[in-house]
Each structure stands twice: as C-alpha cells, then as structure tokens.
Structure 1
C-alpha cells in the first residue's frame, strides 16, 4: 500500500481523535465553569471558610461558606490561651462557629435544565457539651437577620423559615440563576457536628446534595461554656479581654 495513503489515513485518525477529545473537553468544561462561577459569587462576599461539593450525578454543584454576621449574638469559640488580644482578621485559629452564625449554601445547576431544591434535612452526626474556651463576638452594628432559615440543633432538626414556620420549598435554580440557602444554626447547650442534605429534582433526574465542610461535618457550638471577650474600641481590629465592671 502506498505510503501517501497510510499518511492520509493516519492524519485522518489523528484529526478524528482530536475532534473527539475536543468534544469530551467541551462536555466537561461547563461543569468546571459552573463550579467556578459559584465560587466567584462567594468571593464577592466576606467569606471565612468555604468548601465546594458536586453531586454524584454531576447535575448540581454547591459552595458552602461559614462565617459570622455583623451583630453581637454571632461569633467564634476558640481555645482559652489567656487574656492576650486576638487579631480580628478572618476566622481565628482553631475557631468553631458559635450559635447564631451563618452557613450559606450557594447552589447552581450544571445543565440547561432548571433544578428544584426540596426541603433540606439536617443530619446530626455527633453531640457533646458546649465547647469551653473564649467567645469572640462579631462586631455590633447590624440587625439580627430575619431572612435566613433557622435550625435549632437542641431539638428535632427541622429547618424553619424566618417566621418560625416550616421553610418554603422548592427553590428553583439553574446554571445562570444560582440560589442561596442561608442557614442560622442555633444551640444553647451543645457542641454539635451536623450535615445538611438537600434533595433535588429536575428534568434529568433526581438526587441529594450533601453539604458539609469539605468532607467533614459542619460544626456549631453553644457559647454558654465560653468566657466572652470584647471587641476593642474604637477600631474593632482586635478582640480583647473584657474590662472588669465593678
């Protein structure tokens, strides 16, 4: 067989392989961009901790942020290392989110189909007495949020709306319109590890998105066993030991 014919066939096979590879990359690219888009949304906000998760079916992605809000009831609990000041620069080392903090789940579909998010289910993984240490409150200045969903981790873990009634679902999201599920976990007595499970359905099937902290359970502790620090005034740049009030 002439060499030119072999070269032509070899060239054709190489082009076909390249086209196939391009189609595979094209199918993969939207998922990558979609997850990146969710992360980009969170980078515009004040995020202390985030983790991303992709549903096993590859249809839904989510990014979870854990942080505190600008009102005094929210904050972190850290190990007690004495009365030295602690810089207020993001999440402190070894900090656990205190009761009343914020867990924001930004969910986005990865196909052209709309995705309906069903009522979340809270799974308590472990429970122990409230974490001792030091409570570092968020700077005051903002109202207690009224638009998030509340989870009382001391009771059966029902996700409640702002009015104390069951949260309204489904929430519809898509690749171009991500949705935000803001959870305010509360506990007055315990240090709780938990996960959030969000069932979803769409024209391509159904599944469950498991929301956690990069494979580990989310964690929220009551602040009742921790001694409070104060926000240093007037600059709010450090937490300091609260002055004695005689």
Structure 2
C-alpha cells in the first residue's frame, strides 16, 4: 500500500478514494456577521438524511498534527441516537451565541457513531433584528458521511512511520 499524502493534500486524496470518516467526524465552522448588525445564533440542529448498517470497508487511520490556538466552542453529537442533538462539551455553554463582523465565533462539532452509517448535516438557527433564518452547514453541498468501524479490519500509519501497520486495540 502507498503511504498517505501530506496533510494539506489529504482532502483530495480522501475524496479520490471515496473514503468516509470512521467512528468520528470533526466539523469546524467559523460564523461571522456582515456589517454592524449583531446576529444571534439561536440553536444548532443536527439533521440526519440517511442511516444504515456500517460500511464493510477496511479502516485506515493516519496521524495528524495538533491544531492551533484558536479559541472555539466545542459540541458533541451522538449519531447513534434516534434524534441526534449537538450538546455543549464540558465547560462550554449551550446556545445562544452572538456574532458580528468584528466578533466571529468558531464552532467545532465532533460527531460519533459506533453502530451505524450516517449521512447528516447541521443547521444554525439565527436572528438579527426582524430577520431570521437557517444556515445549512454541509460538505460542499452534500451531507457529511460518517460510518462505524467496529468489526472491520484496521490499519494505521502513525506520525513518523514508513509503513502501514495492523491496528492493535487498546
């Protein structure tokens, strides 16, 4: 097997393989207002489009570097729930939040599944004065796609490695 690409080339490589995140998918979104008006972000909704049994594919894991020091709002989603919801992570407050052109917010949503193959997207409910709406957050016009990996063969390519190694539990 060929080694994985460098991190900046990974999205193109993953897309060309038709790959799907296994067990967990992290979505980061930066929201910022336009002009001087304050926008109130009322809620973050999870919308499931399709579910099914986990994909029967091999699981390939690669090591990635650490993130930067950007302050963000962390939320978790359990995609195995009948009605998944975005829950504020420990120490974070739930919605609402306010944003403006000078005061953006960065949200990191970590979605997990241990039992299903799930296609899903997020909706941000917002208001500003008399106006209100819903902003869809998806994967370039398509739902996000996350599949459980339990029972699948798994291979890792840890940082600094020169070859794929069979994943060892624990």
Calculate the TM-score normalised by the size of structure 1: 0.56
Does residue 102 of the first structure (1) align with residue 26 of the second (2)? yes
Determine which of 221, 224, 228 is the counterpart of 2:154: 228
Does residue 163 of the first structure (1) align with residue 80 of the second (2)? no
Residue 163 of structure 1: how far off its partner (Å): 2.9
User: Per the alignment, do residues 164 and 94 of structure 1 end up closer, same or farther by CA in structure 2, a change over 3 Å counting?
Assistant: farther
Could you tell me how far apart the structure 2 residues matched to 1:164 and 1:152 are?
18
What is residue 70 of structure 2 aligned with on the other side? Answer: none
What is residue 203 of structure 1 aligned with on the other side? Answer: 129
User: Per the alignment, do residues 164 and 195 of structure 1 end up closer, same or farther by CA in structure 2, a change over 3 Å counting?
Assistant: farther
Determine which of 132, 143, 160 is the counterpart of 1:217: 143
What is residue 87 of structure 1 aligned with on the other side? Answer: 4
Could you tell me how far apart the structure 1 residues matched to 2:98 and 2:167 are?
49
Which ranges of structure 1 fall in alignment gaps of 5 or more residues? Answer: 1-83
User: Per the alignment, do residues 226 and 199 of structure 1 end up closer, same or farther by CA in structure 2, a change over 3 Å counting?
Assistant: same
User: Structure with the greater relative contact order (CA < 8 A, sep ≥ 6): 1 or 2?
Assistant: 2
Calculate the TM-score normalised by the size of structure 2: 0.79
Which ranges of structure 2 fall in alignment gaps of 5 or more residues? Answer: 67-72
SS of 1:118 mapped into structure 2:
strand
SS of 1:101 mapped into structure 2:
strand
SS of 2:102 mapped into structure 1:
coil
| Contact 1:130/1:225, CA 8 A, preserved across alignment | no
User: Per the alignment, do residues 243 and 197 of structure 1 end up closer, same or farther by CA in structure 2, a change over 3 Å counting?
Assistant: closer
Number of matched residues?
A: 156
Could you tell me how far apart the structure 1 residues matched to 2:167 and 2:79 are?
32
What is residue 57 of structure 2 aligned with on the other side? Answer: 133
User: Per the alignment, do residues 239 and 117 of structure 1 end up closer, same or farther by CA in structure 2, a change over 3 Å counting?
Assistant: farther
Q: Over aligned residues, Cα RMSD in angstroms?
A: 2.8
Residues 154-184 of structure 1, C-alpha deviations (whole Å, 9 max, x = no match): 002111121399x611111111222111100
What is residue 172 of structure 1 aligned with on the other side? Answer: 98
| Contact 1:229/1:239, CA 8 A, preserved across alignment | no
Could you tell me how far apart the structure 2 residues matched to 1:164 and 1:130 are?
32
Q: Judging by fraction of residues, say which structure has more helix.
A: 1
Determine which of 118, 140, 152 is the counterpart of 2:42: 118
